[in-house]
């Protein structure tokens, strides 16, 4: 599938979700109903005249207070069964043309007397006639609210279609929620499977943790959004819901671009950007509701999408198959946010976020499964190569010569022969103990190499030095790498008089450690380098332990030496 087709499908999926959402939200609006501007007054000052509804002023009233709405119904609307919805953050008593309707909580002079009402109150209206009608509301809101904003809105709708209008858009959200839940579950299963297949897989852990939290945020956000229209609640819960939505919005705005940056390694370690992200999130949570809840959420949405678009653009060259569809979806989401800000806040945002997170989760899960399969194949190949190397080590050219020399020493120098037996036992014990470990320390590997060189030194009658420059502490690597390099050097190389036989240089290079191993070149090595089981074993071991984060090269240095370079990641699973 081409990149253009993938991008178009992602955009079309987003537009389809948003269109279905908008279609559901547009159903059931009252036709032939005209609501006049509302009025309000405090009951503690009945002598004062009615004034135009001012939501900012109303937010400061605890009550009791009165609201008055006038509604005009035409003949068509009057013939239909109607339902009245009052969206008011207060306890309320309603009367329609002087006829009492079902109350919402209990109005009180103080908090002790008041029983909080539900934030959205829907009641059916009796049969109506065409003309003007009046709704009178007596209300109070004594319970403290962290977000002091009032909402006083009247809705008149067809009774038969109101339920559809209330729940229809959330069927789309429920479908999106289910898709995201499946993608998140698949991601968790893939992560578990990959960890079982390759227990030393350490790459992409930052992305995996970010996606884990991002998926949880994506699942909680539509639940928090749907809490009010689907389930409802008493009005004191309203600021808690708004705070939850704003917090989840801020988290999503940060986690989405950070997950993309971690996927393509566009940012440094978490200690660099973590404090900045946390401080910005706290500022959003503290300052946002104080100025404008909707504006704070809107800017968090837009800034998060802009940062995500930047990360997709920067990652397009590394993984075009994923970056371009994500970029197209993010840009489409930004366009929707600019064209329909209100609709974007009410539902388009988490639909877009659901699609983006599903693409990310499924892409990461597919990559994990692929890496797990590659790691399993690499592990099998490494085991086969390890067997071949062990078999080669048992060939007469080394072991038989050693045993022959041992037999001679038993007859001529028993003490020296006993020492050789001890050294052989020591080396084979180390090979057996370390050979099955996925990673060992560099000190253990060096001790294994020196045990082997002590045997050869006893056979040849002079020491064979392995010198080390740099700090070996804390470096982890697969077992047998340096031992294989030493074996190759002894088989194909030689010794240079007046110089150490082997030199290992250790140097830190940013987020990696470089090991430079130098040995005599010898006549058995050409500029092309060896391509046998030894090299395959080294490369397969590195690919199994550090997929995509290693490098191995070797060749002559022009001064009679053969140099091998091993590049290992710093966070190789065992560094303190």
pLDDT above 80 for 450: yes
- Check residue 532 and give its pLDDT: 67
Nearest 5°: CA angle at 397, between 392 and 400? Answer: 100
pLDDT above 70 for 200: no
Candidate ranges 205-209, 298-302, 561-565; pick with highest mean pLDDT: 561-565
Strand partners, 100: 95
- Check residue 404 and give its pLDDT: 65
pLDDT above 90 for 183: no
Instruction: Tell me the two tokens of residue 30.
Output: 């009252």
Of 462, 498, 492, 469, which is closest to residue 562 (Cα–Cα)? 492
- Check residue 529 and give its pLDDT: 45
pLDDT above 60 for 215: yes
In 404-557 the beta strands, taken as DSSP E runs, fall at 440-441, 466-469, 476-477, 502-509, 512-520, 551-556
Candidate ranges 110-124, 286-300, 379-393, 549-563; pick with highest mean pLDDT: 110-124
Query: Do the beta carbons of residue 557 and residue 534 sit within 8 Å?
Result: no
- Check residue 574 and give its pLDDT: 40
Question: For the domain with range 394-569, which CATH number is right: 3.40.50.11290, 3.30.450.20, 3.30.565.10, 1.10.10.10?
Answer: 3.30.565.10
The Cβ-side half-sphere exposure at 403, using a 13 Å CA radius, reads 7
- Check residue 277 and give its pLDDT: 61
The Cβ-side half-sphere exposure at 347, using a 13 Å CA radius, reads 26
What Rg value do the Cα atoms of the chain yield, rounded?
37
What are the residue ranges of helices labelled H in 264-348?
270-291, 293-314, 320-339, 341-343
Of 356, 360, 366, 300, which is closest to residue 332 (Cα–Cα)? 356
> Quick one: 548 exposed, middle or buried, by C-beta within 10 A (0-12, 13-18, 19+)?
exposed
Residue limits of CATH 1.20.1070 in the chain: 3-27+166-373
Domain 33-162 sits in CATH at 2.60.120.260
Domain 3-27+166-373 sits in CATH at 1.20.1070
Task: Give every CB contact of residue 16 below 8 A, 6+ residues apart in sequence.
Answer: none
Confidence of residue 286 (pLDDT cuts 50, 70, 90): low
pLDDT above 80 for 518: yes
Candidate ranges 95-109, 281-295, 406-420, 460-474; pick with highest mean pLDDT: 95-109
Averaged confidence pLDDT in the chain: 79
Query: Do the beta carbons of residue 64 and residue 90 sit within 8 Å?
Result: no
Q: What is the pLDDT of residues 467-477, one digit of tens each?
A: 999 988 889 98
Residue limits of CATH 2.60.120.260 in the chain: 33-162
Q: What is the pLDDT of residues 119-153, one digit of tens each?
A: 999 999 998 899 999 999 999 999 876 555 668 89
């Amino acid at each position: 599938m081409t990149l253009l087709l993938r991008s178009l499908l992602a955009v079309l999926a987003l537009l389809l979700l948003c269109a279905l959402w908008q279609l559901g939200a547009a159903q059931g609006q009252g036709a032939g109903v005209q609501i006049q501007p509302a009025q309000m007054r405090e009951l503690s000052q009945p002598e004062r005249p009615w004034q135009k509804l001012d939501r900012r002023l109303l937010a400061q009233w605890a009550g009791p207070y009165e609201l008055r709405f006038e509604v005009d119904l035409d003949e068509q609307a009057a013939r239909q069964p109607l339902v009245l919805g009052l969206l008011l953050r207060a306890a309320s008593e309603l009367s329609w043309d002087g006829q009492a309707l079902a109350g919402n909580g209990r109005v009180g002079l103080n908090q002790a007397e008041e029983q909080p009402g539900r934030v959205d109150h829907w009641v059916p209206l009796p049969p109506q006639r065409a003309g003007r009608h009046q709704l009178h509301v007596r209300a109070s809101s004594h319970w403290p609210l962290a977000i002091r904003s009032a909402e006083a809105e009247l809705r008149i709708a067809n009774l038969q279609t109101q339920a559809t209008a209330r729940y229809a858009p959330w069927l789309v959200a429920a479908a999106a929620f289910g898709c995201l839940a499946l993608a998140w579950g698949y991601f968790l299963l893939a992560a578990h499977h990959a960890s079982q297949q390759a227990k030393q897989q350490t790459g992409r852990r930052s992305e995996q943790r970010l996606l884990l939290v991002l998926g949880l945020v994506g699942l909680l956000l539509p639940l928090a959004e749907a809490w009010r229209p689907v389930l409802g609640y008493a009005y004191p819960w309203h600021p808690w819901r708004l705070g939850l939505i704003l917090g989840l919005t801020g988290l999503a705005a940060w986690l989405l671009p950070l997950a993309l940056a971690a996927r393509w390694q566009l940012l440094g370690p978490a200690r660099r950007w973590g404090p900045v992200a946390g401080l910005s999130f706290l500022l959003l949570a503290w300052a946002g509701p104080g100025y404008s809840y909707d504006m704070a959420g809107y800017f968090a949405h837009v800034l998060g999408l802009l940062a995500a678009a930047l990360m997709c653009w920067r990652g397009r060259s590394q993984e075009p198959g994923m970056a371009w569809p994500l970029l197209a979806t993010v840009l489409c989401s930004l366009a929707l946010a600019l064209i329909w800000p209100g609709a974007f806040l009410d539902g388009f945002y988490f639909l877009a976020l659901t699609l983006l997170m599903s693409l990310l989760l499924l892409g990461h899960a597919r990559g994990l499964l692929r890496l797990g399969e590659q790691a399993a194949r690499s592990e099998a190949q490494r085991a086969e190569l390890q067997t071949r190397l062990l078999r080669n080590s048992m060939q007469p050219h080394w072991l038989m010569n050693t045993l022959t020399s041992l037999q001679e020493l038993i007859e001529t120098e028993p003490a020296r022969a006993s020492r050789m037996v001890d050294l052989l036992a020591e080396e084979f014990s180390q090979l057996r103990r370390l050979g099955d470990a996925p990673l060992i320390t560099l000190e253990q590997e060096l001790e294994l190499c020196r045990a082997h060189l002590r045997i050869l030194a006893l056979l040849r009658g002079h020491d064979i030095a392995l010198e080390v420059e740099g700090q070996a502490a804390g470096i982890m690597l697969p077992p047998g790498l340096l031992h294989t390099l030493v074996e190759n050097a002894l088989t194909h190389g030689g010794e240079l008089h007046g110089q150490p036989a082997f030199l290992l240089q250790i140097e830190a290079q940013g987020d990696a450690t470089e090991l430079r191993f130098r040995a005599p070149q010898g006549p058995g090595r050409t500029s092309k380098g060896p391509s046998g089981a030894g090299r395959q074993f080294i490369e397969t071991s590195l690919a199994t332990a550090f997929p995509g984060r290693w490098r191995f090269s070797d060749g002559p240095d022009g001064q009679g030496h053969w140099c091998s370079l091993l590049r290992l990641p710093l966070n190789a699973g065992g560094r303190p």
